[in-house]
């Protein structure tokens, strides 16, 4: 299995994120989604938690299944949710532990608007730079404007940090849903995005078209700005990601032994 750091060294990466299923129906849907996206030969995929102790086991199971049954590099997303107090660690300490246990390619999360628990953006960037000094790359939470990413990259550079930061992409297919997820991440949906999409909420087909168009515009701007890749939050569905991928005319990634 290729190391993600090596893949990043070869050029832009294109990757997908999944979450572990809770039911047989969700398991079947995830299996179909992976099957739909596999022909694109993603650089790698990640599998995140959904919260709750049992999610850790399901995340591990999905990653193991992908590695064993498919020619895809897979990365588990570790968080401290549902760990005991003795297991809880700051992200930097978690990275140190992963490295000590033999982790050869470690990524960390980055929040373009700042972590929701950070008192301010200055301290957020300082802590992020400290995490990245121990890790190999970062992947951002989703955001809506290329300037959010450029500001993050510039502020890290001011702290001497130049390791790859992969932007996370979330196509807006439901305004209510993305508003809810944005609030949890401590980042409100910008007014111009709401103004562009809210008049279309009574027309699902047109809303979807506009949401995909917004995501494509952001992806093009990011690639033009030299982003090291794109990481798509699929929500375990393949159609929107496939539409964006084809609209951008991205090539299927080469498989690497």
CATH number for the domain including 139? 3.20.20.220
143 and 116 assigned to the same domain: yes
pLDDT tier for residue 82 given thresholds of 50, 70 and 90 = low
pLDDT tier for residue 64 given thresholds of 50, 70 and 90 = confident
- Is 254 part of a structural domain of the chain? no
Domain boundary among 67, 88, 109: 88
- Written as six digits, the tokens of 52 are 């709750």
pLDDT of residue 80: 58
**What are phi and psi for residue 169, nearest 5 degrees?**
-115, 125
- Is 62 part of a structural domain of the chain? yes
d(CA 74, CA 239): 21
pLDDT tier for residue 79 given thresholds of 50, 70 and 90 = low
Domain boundary among 29, 64, 88: 88
> Mean pLDDT throughout 193-213?
96
- Is 97 part of a structural domain of the chain? yes
Residue range of the domain that includes 39: 13-88
Domain boundary among 88, 112, 136: 88
- Is 251 part of a structural domain of the chain? no
72 and 96 assigned to the same domain: no
139 and 159 assigned to the same domain: yes
> Mean pLDDT throughout 231-249?
94
95 and 197 assigned to the same domain: yes
47 and 172 assigned to the same domain: no
Give catalytic residues, as residue numbers: 17
- Is 188 part of a structural domain of the chain? yes
- Written as six digits, the tokens of 49 are 């938690």
74: alpha, beta or left, given left = phi > 0 and alpha = psi -120 to 50? Answer: beta
pLDDT 10s digits, 29-38: 999 999 999 9
pLDDT of residue 140: 97
Residue 40 has pLDDT above 70, yes or no: yes
Tokens 């401590």, residue located = 186
- Is 1 part of a structural domain of the chain? no
- Is 59 part of a structural domain of the chain? yes
pLDDT of residue 18: 94
Give Cα 246 to chain centroid, integer Å. 19
> Mean pLDDT throughout 63-84?
77
pLDDT 10s digits, 102-119: 778 999 999 999 888 888
pLDDT tier for residue 48 given thresholds of 50, 70 and 90 = confident
73 and 125 assigned to the same domain: no
46 and 111 assigned to the same domain: no
109 and 60 assigned to the same domain: no
**What are phi and psi for residue 251, nearest 5 degrees?**
-75, 150
- Is 7 part of a structural domain of the chain? no
What's the distance, Cα to Cα, between the start and end of the chain in Å? 7
Residue 6 has pLDDT above 90, yes or no: yes
Range with the lowest mean pLDDT among 93-102, 165-174, 237-246? 93-102
29 and 132 assigned to the same domain: no
82 and 105 assigned to the same domain: no
130 and 178 assigned to the same domain: yes
| Residue-averaged pLDDT of the chain | 88
pLDDT of residue 252: 65
52 and 124 assigned to the same domain: no
Instruction: Name the domain count of the chain.
Output: 2
pLDDT of residue 253: 56
């Amino acid at each position: 299995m290729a190391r993600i750091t090596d893949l990043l060294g070869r050029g832009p990466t294109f990757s997908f994120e999944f979450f572990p299923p809770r039911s047989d129906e969700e398991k079947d849907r995830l299996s179909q989604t992976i099957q739909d996206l596999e022909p694109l030969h993603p650089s790698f995929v990640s599998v995140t938690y959904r919260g709750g102790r049992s999610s850790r086991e399901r995340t591990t199971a999905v990653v193991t299944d992908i590695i064993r049954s498919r020619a895809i590099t897979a990365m588990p997303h570790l968080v401290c949710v549902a760990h005991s107090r003795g297991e809880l660690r700051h992200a930097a300490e978690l990275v140190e532990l992963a490295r000590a246990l033999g982790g050869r390619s470690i990524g960390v999360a980055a929040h373009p608007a700042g972590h929701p628990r950070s008192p301010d953006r200055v301290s957020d960037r300082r802590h992020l730079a400290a995490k990245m000094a121990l890790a190999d790359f970062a992947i951002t939470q989703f955001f809506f404007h290329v300037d959010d990413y450029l500001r993050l990259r510039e502020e890290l550079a001011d702290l001497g940090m130049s390791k790859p930061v992969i932007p996370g992409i979330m196509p807006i297919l439901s305004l209510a849903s993305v508003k809810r997820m944005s609030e949890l991440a401590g980042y409100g949906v910008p007014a111009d995005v709401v103004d562009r999409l809210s008049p279309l909420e009574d027309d699902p087909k047109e809303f979807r078209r506009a949401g995909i168009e917004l995501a494509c515009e952001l992806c093009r701007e990011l690639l033009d700005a030299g982003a090291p890749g794109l990481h798509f939050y699929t929500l375990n569905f393949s159609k929107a990601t496939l539409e964006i991928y084809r609209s951008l005319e991205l090539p299927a990634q080469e498989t690497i032994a």
